[in-house]
Chains A and B, each alone.
Chain A
């Protein structure tokens, strides 16, 4: 063989080897759209570990404000733009988008322990028994209170106290001259703000959003009673400007020792017991949400979850990433890397069986109890046609919930009566449901 032929063969082999190597390491880039919160940021930090284990996948992150995220992912999915391969969605979107085939079903085969996901969370993210989004962290709502103040006032707080008792405790610890307000609740208008809380309160008063014929029920005695109680409670024992407070504002007040009680998302428990950000970290007690006529729907259920838009070109890589990020092994990884108090909670039963987690998180038992007691498929005393505790999983709900929230916030600020607010909200909801063809 002459030199030229030898060289040609060597070059060809080298080129082929180079090409196959390049092929081997050809990376699939996936873009993940997410919200800014502690657990999600932690996932971003740990992503290099995933990339090391899967050198063929590279993960890019887009962090957005919650409202912008909702708008962007809805736009992306409805227009099939393909900007995102993995998107963070909530329990509200998962069944609606799953029904429309906008999402790829989550691959739960093999070693992905789907049975370990808390049943209520799994149910809320499924449509027709198919899981369309894998929960990354879940939450319910519960009472967080100052043990020292309640004790000093000679009162007690227990699981499922009556709303009347909670009001009495609020009155007893309310001391505005010392900068302590008896009760902090969400007042800012929005279906995910004041109406998330108020829906659970109304549920416990025996109310429902719609009857079996999808007729809005906001003018019923149960809604009036619940909203009047809420407005009265916050007006008498709430902080000033309560109508503009939501989760973060109340968190800031509670952490500065200005709230006797706060009823909100269980995720808050990890913040209010963290001495780095709370001045009352060692004085916080927890209890299950109060009730009036029923326990049903008295505390909400929500999960920030990872889903794959239908039609993405990188579905396989997206599935691999989601299976890693929502696995038991990921929770172990966070526990070992950052401590067990930092693990994403509210998704897997095994987390609450882990003694290290139970030791690190004083709120674990109360949180699990709250999550387990919420049932999105049966959250109202009277029968209702919708799924969801603090929302109705229909596309029209966002607008209806936000309009109602604005009216209630107006009533709280004193610009209109509760009756008038509910009447306006009901007629607006009625109009929207009729236009949408429900009746």
Chain B
């Protein structure tokens, strides 16, 4: 019979093993994409799939030769970081106002903002396409930045609202007693106290923009196309393309994965902010 200590250890082991299993399950497609990028097209389609093979860098060479990777990466960086910055500039005061000065309609406004995310993007494709054409925003980074900002603004305001709401109001009252105006309150009190939450909100927004494909494919052509458009160009109706597609995907994922790796502390900290009280 197990002692209490052994039972606890066993429980921890089972929980750990389960967590590892789920993590590996989630990671498997990325791992498979990564190793497929080092295969030949024939190895990529072989059944049963080959785990042991002589790796080749040929696919990366082809991607480099065919696509202007740096240009696509630059577009991805500008559109995801640019739109996240603008969304935060708008989102922080909006969330501050709703968290610290709520009115009767605050909940309705929050729900209304969230409801804009419920509409399928394709439902507004034609009006947005025509507006972009009329304002000369087709195939421009500015156009994508505007769309991405609008796309992520509801999520950003919701996340910031929930972080701000957890801040003790007494601190703000104390600041006001010391003569702070709303601008001082945001810059000198709210932002430093919720930096973890803001970082994770920004990271989430950057990742969502980086991975966005629908608007990128529909509103861009050659100049503003980000990495998602580059990946899509490797899908072929007639001919084998899995290995090259995997190489393009690996190159497209790499920057954001590395960025996420460095920022994981802030990401976890922000996402668990206020979870335990």
A interface residues (Cβ-Cβ under 8 A, vs B): 31, 33, 35-38, 41, 44, 60-66, 68, 71-72, 75, 79, 81, 83-84, 192, 247-248, 251-252, 255-256, 258, 265, 267-268, 271, 276-277, 279
B interface residues (Cβ-Cβ under 8 A, vs A): 41-42, 45-47, 66, 129-130, 133, 138-139, 217-218, 221-222, 225, 232-241
The residue from A37, A44, A79, A256 contacting B237, defined by CB atoms under 8 A apart: A37
What are 13 inter-chain pairs, A to B, with CB distance below 8 A? A35-B237, A62-B225, A62-B233, A72-B221, A75-B129, A79-B133, A248-B241, A251-B239, A252-B240, A256-B45, A265-B238, A277-B41, A277-B42
A31-B221, A79-B130, A81-B138 known; A63 and B233 CB under 8 Å? yes
B interface majority secondary structure: loop
Whether the pair A44, B66 counts as a contact (CB closer than 8 A) is yes
Kindly provide the distance from the CB of A337 to the nearest chain B CB, expressed in whole angstroms.
15
Give the interface centre of A36, A66, A192 by most chain B CB atoms within 10 Å: A36
Question: Measured between alpha carbons, how far is A279 from B47 in the docked complex, in Å?
Answer: 13
Question: Measured between alpha carbons, how far is A256 from B42 in the docked complex, in Å?
Answer: 8
Name the B residues within 8 Å of A61 (CB-CB).
222
The residue from B139, B233, B234, B238 contacting A248, defined by CB atoms under 8 A apart: B238
Whether the pair A36, B47 counts as a contact (CB closer than 8 A) is no
Name the B residues within 8 Å of A72 (CB-CB).
217-218, 221
Question: Measured between alpha carbons, how far is A44 from B222 in the docked complex, in Å?
Answer: 14
Question: Measured between alpha carbons, how far is A256 from B46 in the docked complex, in Å?
Answer: 7
Kindly provide the distance from the CB of B143 to the nearest chain A CB, expressed in whole angstroms.
12
Name the B residues within 8 Å of A268 (CB-CB).
238
Name the A residues within 8 Å of B45 (CB-CB).
252, 255-256
Name the B residues within 8 Å of A256 (CB-CB).
45-47
Whether the pair B233, A64 counts as a contact (CB closer than 8 A) is yes
Additional A-B contact list (13), CB under 8 Å, known A64-B217, A81-B133, A255-B240: A36-B233, A36-B235, A37-B239, A62-B222, A62-B233, A65-B232, A71-B218, A72-B221, A83-B138, A247-B237, A248-B236, A251-B240, A258-B47
Question: Measured between alpha carbons, how far is A38 from B41 in the docked complex, in Å?
Answer: 13
Name the B residues within 8 Å of A265 (CB-CB).
238
Q: Which residue of A lies closest to B133 (CB)?
A: A81
Whether the pair B238, A84 counts as a contact (CB closer than 8 A) is no
Question: Measured between alpha carbons, how far is A311 from B66 in the docked complex, in Å?
Answer: 29
- Give how many A-B residue pairs fall within 8 Å (CB-CB): 84
The 10 closest A-B pairs by CB, nearest first: A63-B233, A252-B45, A65-B235, A66-B237, A36-B236, A60-B222, A83-B221, A81-B133, A62-B221, A62-B222
Kindly provide the distance from the CB of B19 to the nearest chain A CB, expressed in whole angstroms.
33
Name the B residues within 8 Å of A38 (CB-CB).
239
A83-B138, A255-B45 known; A64 and B237 CB under 8 Å? no
Kindly provide the distance from the CB of B1 to the nearest chain A CB, expressed in whole angstroms.
50
Kindly provide the distance from the CB of A320 to the nearest chain B CB, expressed in whole angstroms.
19
Name the B residues within 8 Å of A60 (CB-CB).
222
Question: Measured between alpha carbons, how far is A35 from B238 in the docked complex, in Å?
Answer: 10
Whether the pair B139, A37 counts as a contact (CB closer than 8 A) is no
Name the A residues within 8 Å of B46 (CB-CB).
256
The residue from B218, B225, B240 contacting A277, defined by CB atoms under 8 A apart: B240
Q: Which residue of A lies closest to B232 (CB)?
A: A65
Question: Measured between alpha carbons, how far is A36 from B129 in the docked complex, in Å?
Answer: 24
Name the B residues within 8 Å of A276 (CB-CB).
42
Whether the pair A79, B234 counts as a contact (CB closer than 8 A) is no
The residue from A33, A37, A41, A252 contacting B66, defined by CB atoms under 8 A apart: A41
Whether the pair A84, B221 counts as a contact (CB closer than 8 A) is yes
Whether the pair A267, B238 counts as a contact (CB closer than 8 A) is yes
Kindly provide the distance from the CB of B123 to the nearest chain A CB, expressed in whole angstroms.
15
Give the interface centre of B66, B139, B218, B233 by most chain A CB atoms within 10 Å: B233
Kindly provide the distance from the CB of A290 to the nearest chain B CB, expressed in whole angstroms.
22
Name the B residues within 8 Å of A271 (CB-CB).
239-240
Whether the pair A37, B236 counts as a contact (CB closer than 8 A) is yes
Whether the pair A83, B233 counts as a contact (CB closer than 8 A) is no
Q: Which residue of B lies closest to A33 (CB)?
A: B221
A36-B236, A79-B130, A256-B46 known; A68 and B217 CB under 8 Å? yes
Question: Measured between alpha carbons, how far is A424 from B227 in the docked complex, in Å?
Answer: 41
Name the B residues within 8 Å of A277 (CB-CB).
41-42, 240
Kindly provide the distance from the CB of B223 to the nearest chain A CB, expressed in whole angstroms.
8
Name the A residues within 8 Å of B234 (CB-CB).
36
Question: Measured between alpha carbons, how far is A247 from B41 in the docked complex, in Å?
Answer: 15
Question: Measured between alpha carbons, how far is A37 from B66 in the docked complex, in Å?
Answer: 12
Name the A residues within 8 Å of B217 (CB-CB).
64, 68, 72
